Amino acid sequence: MQLFDELKTISKKHIKANKKAGEKVPSGLWISCPKCQQSIYHKDLGKYKTCPNCYYGFRIHARERLEWLVDTFQEFDTDLETKDPLNFPGYKEKLIKAQQDSKLNDSVLTGIAMIDDVEFALGIMDPYFIMGSMGTVTGEKITRLFERATQKNLPVILFAASGGARMQEGISSLMQMSKISQAVKEHSNAGLLYITVITDPTTGGVTASFAMQGDIILSEPRALLGFAGKRVIEQTIHQKVPDDLQDAETVLKNGFIDNIIKREDQKEKLAWLVKIHSMKGAF
Ligand SMILES: [Zn+2]
């Protein structure tokens, strides 16, 4: 019994240490789901890193998602480098650390992907690259992704994840919203399909632009989707708001997104969606 008590104490310690949403999937034996608080044995998260109880998708690097999402991938624009236009204190060091951790030049991975014989342009934002913030290189990479997709007559699938515009680049970050939106519009004018998949968390300028401009907007279960954070909303309207206000399930109920898609189903369902939308004149 003493051993059992000790194990329980260790588990509680792990759970307490990892309770905060957004922490990297910890390496301990037991972790707690930040959404349903279920204790999960580490190995039960599986390759998709999802909660077996509520299907919440833990935050993962863009390259980790790529491994199980597509069959082939040809990457674009790995040589673009973010400048430090404001000479923001500590920004260069932060960038280098984020680049080393994510193996990306900025907060989005872009390229052409295939699932079976279905080809599409793919963007995956990395929630760990300075909180998935949108800097000038993020904006440029996404804009070029849409421009290439328009040229090649390809649909776009974009996995959104962001804390918003990157404050270290000031107004240059905010300007990416209109630049990307222009490229999205040109892609749409060419009659091409754009699917967004919201992942945890998607907020700020990314929500206010390309994350919500998809023809089909999907979300992972329990992902947070909003513009301003809950605390900012409460301070502005001087009212408490429900805990699940910005959960994908609430947002779906209120009509802002089209459906919720589990990670294990994404490869098959996204390929199917692209396929049925490419059957022009078939019906
Ligand atoms: Zn859960």
Given this model, what pLDDT does residue 52 score?
95
Distance from residue 42's CA to the centre of ligand 1 (Å): 13
Q: What are the per-10-residue average pLDDT scores of the chain (283 residues)?
A: 42 44 65 93 94 96 97 97 90 95 97 96 97 96 98 97 94 95 98 97 95 97 94 93 94 97 97 89 54
Residues 42 and 75 in one domain: no
Distance from residue 224's CA to the centre of ligand 1 (Å): 13
In sequence order, the 6+-apart residues with CB closer than 8 A to the CB of 133 are 107, 162, 163, 164, 165, 166, 167, 173
User: Quick check: is 238 in a domain?
Assistant: yes
User: Quick check: is 14 in a domain?
Assistant: no
Distance from residue 50's CA to the centre of ligand 1 (Å): 8
Residues 261 and 178 in one domain: yes
Domain endpoint, select from 37, 58, 79: 58
Distance from residue 184's CA to the centre of ligand 1 (Å): 34
Distance from residue 252's CA to the centre of ligand 1 (Å): 18
Residues 80 and 205 in one domain: yes
Q: What is the residue range of 40's domain?
A: 28-58
Burial of 253: CB neighbours in 10 Å, binned 0-12, 13-18, 19+: exposed
User: Quick check: is 12 in a domain?
Assistant: no
Report d(CA 202, CA 219) in Å as an integer: 10
Long-range contacts of 68-71 (CB under 8 A, 24+ apart): 68/263, 68/267, 69/113, 69/115, 69/122, 69/124, 69/266, 69/267, 70/113, 70/114, 70/115, 70/122, 70/267, 71/113, 71/114, 71/115, 71/116
Residues 54 and 194 in one domain: no
Cβ pair 120, 274 in contact under 8 A? yes
Residues contributing to the annotated binding site for Zn(2+): 33, 36, 51, 54
Residues 179 and 195 in one domain: yes
Residues 35 and 108 in one domain: no
Report d(CA 158, CA 185) in Å as an integer: 15
Residues 90 and 166 in one domain: yes
Distance from residue 36's CA to the centre of ligand 1 (Å): 4
Distance from residue 10's CA to the centre of ligand 1 (Å): 20
Report d(CA 243, CA 121) in Å as an integer: 35
Residues 175 and 225 in one domain: yes
Residues 145 and 235 in one domain: yes
Backbone angles phi, psi at 182, to 5 degrees: -65, -45
Distance from residue 58's CA to the centre of ligand 1 (Å): 9
User: Quick check: is 22 in a domain?
Assistant: no
Residues contributing to the annotated binding site: 33, 36, 51, 54
CATH number, domain with residue 237: 3.90.226.10
For the chain, the domain total comes to 2
